[in-house]
Structure 1
Amino acid sequence: MDLKNKVAVISGGSKGIGKGIANRFAKAGANIVFTYLEGEENIDQIVEKIESYGVKCLAVKTDISNEDDVIHLVQSTKDTFGKMNILINNAGTIGNEMPISEMPTEEWDKVMNVDLRGVFLMCKYFIPLMEEQSVGKIINISSELSVKGRANFTHYTAAKGGVNSLTRSLALELAPNILVNTIAPGPIGTDMILADMEPEWIEKEKDIPLQRLGTVDEIAATALFLASDEGNFFCGQFISPNGGAIFI
């Protein structure tokens, strides 16, 4: 699948699923813009790896919940590449586990601001630049939990449910020239999860039909399919690589 001469903007592209998508897209020929908020000491190395595939890469420190930051990101993308074709709304936070009755309003707002407001702002300000190319792709990263639910994570599941609805409405608003879809991963073995989570938690997450965590590469492959011409008949879809954790 070929993305040669495309420009892909990936929020949260310095680690986890976002980093996997950035590298997979670069291998397919796309120039990459990615955002990060922390881990500044590793950014040059990440850029160098992406550019080793013969493409150009721009990293921009961005708080996607901050409108001025997003406007700056759009201008930086336009100044560097003059266009963009693919938007991956990946950056997010899961928040802290707690019952809703004990959840501070600030905790709810923090998750909503990143996971839902951030997607809104990225779409609001990048769609006009995308429309200059007449066609494009938007892929919103949600979660299987947006359908399945999870106790004590009402802020996260509600925000991701909002992303699903935003996808459907944007798909109707922007088709046929810009195609909008959702990828909703199940339990994925990112470096952070494998390093930080207790073995008991990981084993519990493996309690699905495929009896394992998914890989970052499996999510990146799904994103590449949707972003390429092979995915041109997908519009407004909820695609959930989840190992059988839920059936949609």
Structure 2
Amino acid sequence: MKITFLGTGTSQGVPVIGCDCEVCKSLDFRNKRLRSSVHLQIGDLSVVIDTGPDFRAQMLQNSIKKVDAIVYTHEHKDHTAGLDDIRPFNFMQKKDMPVFGRKQVLEQIKREFSYIFASQKYPGVPQVEPVEIDEQPFHIEGIQFTPLPILHYKLPVLGFRIGDFSYITDANHIPDSTIDLVRGSEIVVLNALQKTSHISHFTLDEAVDMAKTLGAEKTYFTHISHRLGRHQEVEEELPKGIFLAYDGLELSLP
């Protein structure tokens, strides 16, 4: 499995429009963060988790020319807004794109992209195959995805475990039952928004505590705000085995 971080930023991305803070003005490429998304290459299977507003740029920047399926964590726009840009994959692959999500996620997508699902479609609209999932494991071309139920304030959100890789974003609470599902992962991804308290996201300290609880060999933080601080300085503060992810970072698992 090859894991590529397509985006590691929060809903506004980094830099933030109109902001002159030291992070937003930084020339370090690791402080340039598109909206959160990850690409998984598992043998011949190519899967993207979440299609945020930067989806097109992420596909181009990472030279991704094939996507077999899209999996959604939840229905917020910073995770779904790029769905229209799957059209080139429809044309190249000559098939509908399977999109996996909970019932409420698919319903939200159908409202926001109503033209995709119209009875009389405008020529050239994206072709999708909605696939409803719940909290039970499901398979994409024989690869098992285990949903990881979490809370984003009061909104139910799913992370996913695929083999020894677990991906969780937009969380401020992980139930004990989900912690049990994550334990034993070799690589875990968690959100770490900023250092100060937030109503719906882990702070840096909360994410570090959760990483220690989960006990993975390596943990990477994503969904990072400009308020967290500059990449190099923050990473130097982190315990052994815990890192900040950045856009374009590639990881591998056997």
State the TM bucket, normalised to the shorter chain: 0.3 to 0.5
> What TM-score do the two structures reach when normalised by structure 2?
0.37
> What TM-score do the two structures reach when normalised by structure 1?
0.38
Which structure has more helix as a fraction of its residues?
Answer: 1
Which structure has more strand as a fraction of its residues?
Answer: 2
